[in-house]
């Protein structure tokens, strides 16, 4: 079967980690009889360098013509890169916000799973880490503070900045439905995270979520304020199954969740619209400080490719094969530098670079 895949390699370590994910996809194709047809698309800093824009209409049109898009990382060093001397709407991250809006990618899924083999790399207390955890953060991606009206002006002699947080009931309902649908396939629990003790938008979020919950009597719904959720993620992450939250809260909490897995290089991500189309990317940044050194961890991008197989192509068996290959590589002691044990016996552990990890995972697909 043929599948059209747009590849946005992006900036920093993006080209390195997407190359390894593509290597794994090609192994999946040869093993299971599929053909993944690649179209390269420029977005982010590399698009600025060539076109003067982080996202062109041609890039949007090319993405829309694919069955799914696999992305690396966008952006550079905010202190030194000339990209960040440009107006905000011309910077690399504006391309990311733009493509999410253009493709109506309203639902962001970020799994956070602690592999037993990486318990030593987890920064949590040993008694917490040894219990493990398996959660999924469902983040609304096209509304809220990041997409509301904003301006900076002088008011009474003082420079004053305003950002507007807006959600309507339809935006909340559709992301809540996605969260409950996913929960039905997992452990049937949704934790809706908000700030309903302060924000009107959160009070509406809570009201609509409770309405949706009535259609899912098998799913347990709990509400949690975002500050408490941040604390509970490090105190007892095992309590979470599906976390449902708005755009900014989800941005912050998912990065926190990524670090307790042992490394941000382990966290995959899917951004979906109302059809089967999705954009799949690692949750970490472009890491310009290590770009080109061949030491970046490609696992998050490889697992994002597995999510693409599952959610856009309906290839569950193939997705399972990729996820099992990742686990086999870890069981066999294959590690990039960011997930090396911090102390103890290193016998049986092999440190590899970006391509070495990609090879190890591809070799274990069968």
Cα 41 to Cα 61: distance, rounded to the nearest angstrom:
10
Indicate which residue of 115, 146, 216, 280 is catalytic: 146
Active-site residue, 61 included: no
Active-site residue, 195 included: yes
Active-site residue, 40 included: no
Indicate which residue of 195, 241, 280, 359 is catalytic: 195
Indicate which residue of 67, 134, 181, 255 is catalytic: 255
Using left for φ > 0, alpha for ψ between -120 and 50, and beta otherwise, residue 45 falls in alpha
Q: For helices 316-331 and 354-363, what crossing angle results, to 10°?
A: 120
| Three-state helix/strand/coil letters over the chain | CEEEEEEEEECCCHHHHHHHHHHHHHHHHHHHCCEEEEEECCCCHHHHHHHCCCCCHHHHHHHHCCCEEEEEECCCCCCCCHHHHCCHHHCHHHHHHHHHHHCCCCEEEEEEECCHHHHHHCCCCHHHHCCCCEEEEEEECCCHHHCCCEEEEEECCEEEEEECCCCCHHHHHHHHHHHHHHHHCCCCEEEEEECCCCCHHHHHHHHHHHHHHCCCCCCEEEEEEHHHHHHHHHHCHHHCCEEEECHHHHHHHHHHHHHHCCCHHHCCCEEECCCCCEEECCCCCCCCCCCCCCCCCCHHHHHHHHHHHHHCCCCHHHHHHHHHHHHHHHHCCEECHHHCCCCCCCCCCEECCHHHHHHHHHHCCC
Indicate which residue of 40, 61, 200, 227 is catalytic: 227
Indicate which residue of 241, 251, 338, 359 is catalytic: 251
Catalytic sites, residue numbers: 146, 195, 227, 251, 255
């Amino acid at each position: 079967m043929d599948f059209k895949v747009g590849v946005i390699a992006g900036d920093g370590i993006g080209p390195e980690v997407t190359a390894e994910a593509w290597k794994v996809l090609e192994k999946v194709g040869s093993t299971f009889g599929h053909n993944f047809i690649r179209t390269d698309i420029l977005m982010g800093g590399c698009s600025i360098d060539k076109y003067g824009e982080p996202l062109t209409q041609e890039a949007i049109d090319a993405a829309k013509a694919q069955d799914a898009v696999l992305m690396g990382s966008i952006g550079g060093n905010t202190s030194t890169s000339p990209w960040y001397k440009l107006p905000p709407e011309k910077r690399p991250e504006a391309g990311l916000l733009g493509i999410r809006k253009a493709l109506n990618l309203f639902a962001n899924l970020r799994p956070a799973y602690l592999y037993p083999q990486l318990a030593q790399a987890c920064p949590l207390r040993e008694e917490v880490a040894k219990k493990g955890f398996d959660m999924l953060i469902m983040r609304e991606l096209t509304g809220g503070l990041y997409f509301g009206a904003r301006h900076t002006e002088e008011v009474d002699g003082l420079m004053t900045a305003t950002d507007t947080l807006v959600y309507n009931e339809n935006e909340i309902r559709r992301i809540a439905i996605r969260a409950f649908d996913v929960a039905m396939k997992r452990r049937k629990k949704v934790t809706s995270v908000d700030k309903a003790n302060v924000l009107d938008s959160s009070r509406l979020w809570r009201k609509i979520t409770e309405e949706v919950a009535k259609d899912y009597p098998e799913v347990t719904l709990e509400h949690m304020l975002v500050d408490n959720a941040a604390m509970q993620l490090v105190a007892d992450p095992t309590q979470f199954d599906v976390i449902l939250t708005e755009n900014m809260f989800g941005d912050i909490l998912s990065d926190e969740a990524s670090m307790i897995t042992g490394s941000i290089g382990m966290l995959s991500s899917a951004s979906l619209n109302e059809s089967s189309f999705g954009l799949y990317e690692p949750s970490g940044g472009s890491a310009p400080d290590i770009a080109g050194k061949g030491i970046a961890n490609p696992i998050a991008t490889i697992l994002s490719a597995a999510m693409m197989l599952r959610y856009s192509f309906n290839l569950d068996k193939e997705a399972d094969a990729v996820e099992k290959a990742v686990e086999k590589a870890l069981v066999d002691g294959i590690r990039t530098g960011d997930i090396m044990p911090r102390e103890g016996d290193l016998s049986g552990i092999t440190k590899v670079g970006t391509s070495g990890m990609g090879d190890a995972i591809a070799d274990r697909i069968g």
